[in-house]
Amino acid sequence: MNILVVYPYIPFPLDRGTYQRTFHLLRELAREHTVDLIALSEKGERLNQRHVFESFCRDVRFVPFTHPAWPKLMPDRLLNRTPSTIRHWNLPQLADAIHDQLARNQYDLVHVCDIVLAQYFLKEHQDIPLSIDRSRVDLQFQLQQTAFNTTSLKEKALAWENMAKLWFYERRIAKRSQLQVLCGPDDEAFVRRHISKKVPLKVVANGVDLDFFKAEVLEQPLAAKPSILFCGAMDYTPNVDALRWYFAEIHKRILKQVPDLQVFIVGKSPLPEVQAYASLPGVIVTGSVDDVRPYYRKAWLQIVPLRIGGGTRLKIVESLAIGTPVVSTSIGAQGLDLIHGANALLADDAKSFAEQTVRALHNSPLRQHLRYNGIALAKERFGWKGIAAKLSAEYRRFSPNSSPRIQLLDVPFDAVTMPETLDRIDAMIASQKPHYIATANVDFCVQAKSDPELHSILKQADLVVCDGTPLVWLSRLLGRSLPERVAGSDLVPQLLAKAEQKDWRVFFLGGQEQVLEKAIQNVGLKHRNLRIVGAYSPPFAPLDQMPHEEICARIREAKPDVLLVSFGCPKQEKWIARNYQAAGVPVCIGVGATIDFLAGSMKRAPRWMQVIGAEWVFRLAQEPRRLFKRYATDLFVFGLSAAKELLKNPQASRA
C-alpha cells in the first residue's frame, strides 16, 4: 500500500511517550508499505532529524510553524462552531503541503496522528480512506482535565464551552474516518458510549523497544533503601496532576510504614510545582536524563498514580520490559490490559494505592513474581514489531471480506470447529510460547458483564471457543454464525487422544484430590501412552492467597505442553491469566467440571440434551443446591441481554 502519514510534530529524538509510539509505528509500517511523511516542526525545531526518517520513508517533508494566538472570547471563539483546541492547529502551510503531496502521488490511505489533523480531510480529500491514530481521546481527556485541574468559574465555563463543541466535532470526525486507532479498551468503551457506535475502531496498545529496555540479569542491583520511581515528561498535565495527588494524599500514608522511602521523579522540563517536591526528605527530582534505564533498574517499584487518561503509557511497558514492578491506577494502566496481581498492582483510591505500594515494598517474592510475569508479558505483547503488524493487518483488511472475531454480548468468540481448535492448539504447542484458551459458555458471558477482570481475560485470550448451544443459536439469529459448539468437556477427551498421538506432555491442576486421582487413573487406562507429567490439587484458598509461585515452579519443573486447570469459573480463568506466563506452558485451558467427568464422579447429559441446549437442566438435577441460583441468574441476564442484541439487529428482528 501507499500510505501518507501526517504528524503534528517530528517524533525524534524519543524524549516523549507519544513520540515513541508514533515513531515506532511509522518505522514498522514502512517495513511493509511505501510511506511518505509530512510532519510539523514547531519554530523550526528538529529539522536536522530528516535523515532519521529518510532511512525508511520514501518522501519526507517537514513544515515549520508557530502556534497561533488563542482566539478571543468574543466574537471569534463563541461564534465559531469548531472547538478552539482544534482551530489552534488550522495552519495554511500544512494545508498547502497536503494539497501538494496528494497532487503528486496516489495514496491508498492517509494516516494522521490525533483528531487535530483530521480537520484537513473533512471538507477536502474525502475520496481517500482516513485512519486516525489517537494517542488519547480528546473529549475524554478534556473531561478528566476539567474535573481535576480547573478551579475558577471562568475556567470551567470555557472548558465546558470547548467540550460541547468538541463533542459535535468528534461525531463529525467519526463519520469521516474509516478507522480510528485507540490505545486501549477503555478508550474504545468511551468512544462507543459517548461519540459513535458505528465508527470502525482498532485497539493498538503501546509498545516498547525490547532491545533497549532489556532485563539484563534476573537479580538486578536495587537501591539500598526502599525506592519508587515516577517517570515521564514533567510539563505534561496528567503527570503533574498525578504527582499533585500522590504527594497530597498518598505519600504520607506510605511513609508511616516505610519511613526511609526514596522517591525518584525522572523526566524532562519539570515545572516549578514539580521542582518544589525536591525539598521533601528522600525526594529527588532529576529533570532530563540521558538514559532512564539506570533509574528503572535501581527502583524497587514504579508508581503511576494517574487520574487523567487518554495518553500513552510508555512508562509502564518500559517498566514491564526492564523488570521494574508497577503500581498503577486503572487509568494509568489504561489500554494495556494488565491483570492485578499477575503483572502489576492496580488501585484507584489513595488508601488502596498506598496499601498496594507498601505491600510490594515489604514483599520481595511478590516483586519477583511481578517482575517475572512483566518481562514475559512485554516480550509476548509489547514489542513494536508485533504491535505494528496488527495495525498493518488491519489496514489490509479494509475489504468487506474481512473475518474478525465474532462478538456476542461483548465477548469475542473465534469461529472455529472442533478440528480447527485442535489444529490451533497444535500450532501453539509447536511455537513453544505460552498461550491460554477460554471455553466460554453462557455463564462466562453473564459473569463478564459484572466482572471487568474476567471480561479483559476473555478479550486477551489466544483462543475463545463457544461452549454453549444458546450462544450458537444467538450467533445465527444475529447473522454472524459460529460454526458449532466446542464444549470443554468434548474438547479435553479429544485433546488427550491427540496428546497421546503427538507425544505431548500433560499436567492436571485443581479439582478435589481424590477426584483428581481417579481422573488420572481413568485417563491412564484409556490412553496408556499418554505422558502425564504432573497432577496437583493445591489446598483450597482464595485466589489472592494461593501460593502462585510455588505452583508455577512445580509446573515449570514438569515442563508440560498442556496445562488443564480445574478451579471453576472465574477462578481458573483468573489464575491462568495471572500465571500462564510464569508457568511457561504452551497451552493452558480452564476445564471446570471436566475433571469430574473424567473421574466418573459426575455424569454428562445424554447426547440429545446436549444437542437441544438442555445440558444445564441435567447438571441442575445433579447439583440443585449449588447451581440453582447461578442458572437462574444466567437465564435472566442472558435472556435480557440476548433480547437487546436481537432488537438492535435489523436482520435478527425480522427473523
311 has pLDDT over 60: no
Task: Evaluate if residue 610 carries a pLDDT over 70.
Answer: no
Residues contacting residue 583 through CB under 8 Å, at least 6 positions apart: 434, 551, 552, 555, 556, 563
Residue 131 has pLDDT above 80, yes or no: yes
For residue 400, the model assigns a pLDDT of 36
Q: Give the Å distances, CA to CA, from 276 to 150, 252, 260, 266, 284.
A: 21, 16, 20, 14, 10
Give the mean pLDDT of 546-572: 92
H/E stretch holding 599: helix 594-599
Which residues, including other chains, have CB under 8 Å from residue 484's CB and lie 6 or more apart? 417, 418, 466, 472
Q: For residue 92, what is its C-alpha cell?
A: 495554511
As a residue count, the chain comes to 655
**C-beta atoms surrounding 369 within 10 Å:** 21
Q: Nearest to residue 335, comparing CAs of 136, 575, 570, 170?
A: 136
Q: Which three cell numbers stand for residue 39?
A: 510532519
Q: What is the secondary structure of 360-427 as a DSSP string?
A: HHH-HHHHHHHHHHHHHHHHHH-BHHHHHHHHHHHHHTTSTT---PEEETTEEE----HHHHHHHHHH
What secondary structure letter does DSSP report for 237? H
Q: Phi/psi of residue 275, each to 5°?
A: -60, -30
Report helix, strand and coil shares of the chain as percent, to nearest 5.
50, 15, 35
Query: Grid coordinates in use for 455?
Result: 471480561
Residue 143 CB neighbours (<10 A): 20
Q: Is 510 left (phi over 0), alpha (psi -120 to 50) or beta?
A: left
Per the CB < 8 A criterion, the answer to whether 247 and 279 are in contact is no
Q: Hunting for cell 515452579 — which residue is that?
A: 553
For residue 162, pLDDT over 70 is answered with yes
Is pLDDT at 454 greater than 70 in this prediction? yes
DSSP assignment letter at 330? T
Residues in Cβ contact with 309 at an 8 Å cutoff, skipping those fewer than 6 apart: 136, 140, 141, 144, 186, 187, 238, 331, 332, 334
227-382 CATH pick, 3.40.50.2000, 3.40.190.10, 3.30.2270.10, 3.40.50.720: 3.40.50.2000
β-strand 587-590 against 436-440: which pairing, if any?
A: parallel
Can you tell me which residue has the cell 523550526? Answer: 44
DSSP state of 567: S
Cell matching residue 343: 503483572
Residues 399-432 have pLDDT tens digits of 333 345 788 888 889 889 999 999 999 988 988 8
- What confidence tens digit (pLDDT) does each residue in 364-393 have? 999 999 999 999 889 888 888 888 877 887
Residue 519 has pLDDT above 70, yes or no: yes
* Residue corresponding to grid cell 540521558: 290
Query: Which percentage of the chain shows pLDDT scores above 90?
Result: 50
DSSP lists the bridge partners of residue 10 as none
- CA atoms within 13 A of residue 607's CA, in its CB half-sphere: 1
pTM exceeding 0.85: no
Is pLDDT at 619 greater than 70 in this prediction?
Answer: no
Q: Which residue has the higher pLDDT, 208 or 617?
A: 208
Distance, CA of 466 to CA of 67 (rounded, Å): 53
Reading the block at residue 625, the C-alpha cell is 443446591
Domain 2-203 has CATH 3.40.50.300: no
Indicate the angle between helix axes 384-396 and 17-32, nearest 10 degrees: 60
Evaluate whether 446 touches 420 at the Cβ level (below 8 Å).
Answer: no
| pLDDT at residue 399, rounded to an integer | 38
Which tens digit of pLDDT belongs to each residue from 15-60? Answer: 887 898 999 999 989 887 889 999 999 999 999 999 999 999 999 9
d(C-alpha 348, C-alpha 604), whole Å: 44
CATH number (2.40.110.10, 3.20.20.450, 3.60.20.10, 3.40.50.10700) of 407-599 reads 3.40.50.10700
The answer to whether residue 90 scores a pLDDT higher than 50 is yes
pLDDT for 362 equals 96
Average pLDDT over residues 557-565: 95
Give the domain ranges of the chain.
2-203, 227-382, 407-599
Q: What are phi and psi of 438, to 5 degrees?
A: -115, 135
Longest Cα pair distance anywhere in the chain, in angstroms?
86
Q: How far is the CA of 186 from the CAs of 163, 191, 391, 409, 572, in angstroms?
A: 19, 9, 18, 17, 25
Measured distance CA(269)–CA(292) in Å, rounded: 15
Please give the sequence-ordered ranges of beta strands (E in DSSP) within 512-652, or none if there are none. 531-536, 562-566, 587-590
Q: Do 227-382 and 407-599 come out as alike in CATH topology?
A: yes
3-state secondary structure of 643: helix
Between residues 440 and 393, the one the model is more confident about: 440
Judge contact between 534 and 560, C-beta under 8 A: yes
* Contact (CB, 8 A) for 332 and 338: no
Closest to 535 measured CA to CA, from 366, 467, 522, 424: 522
Write the single-letter amino acid at 381: R
The C-alpha cell at 412 is 469475542
The answer to whether the peptide bond before residue 75 is cis (omega within 30 degrees of 0) is yes
Return the number of other C-beta atoms located less than 10 Å from residue 127's C-beta.
7
Convert 165-174 to b/e letters by CB count within 10 Å (16 or more is b): bbeebbeebb
What integer is the mean pLDDT of 129-149?
83
pLDDT tens readout for residues 243-256 = 999 999 999 999 99
Q: Answer for the pair 126, 107: CB distance below 8 angstroms, yes or no.
A: no
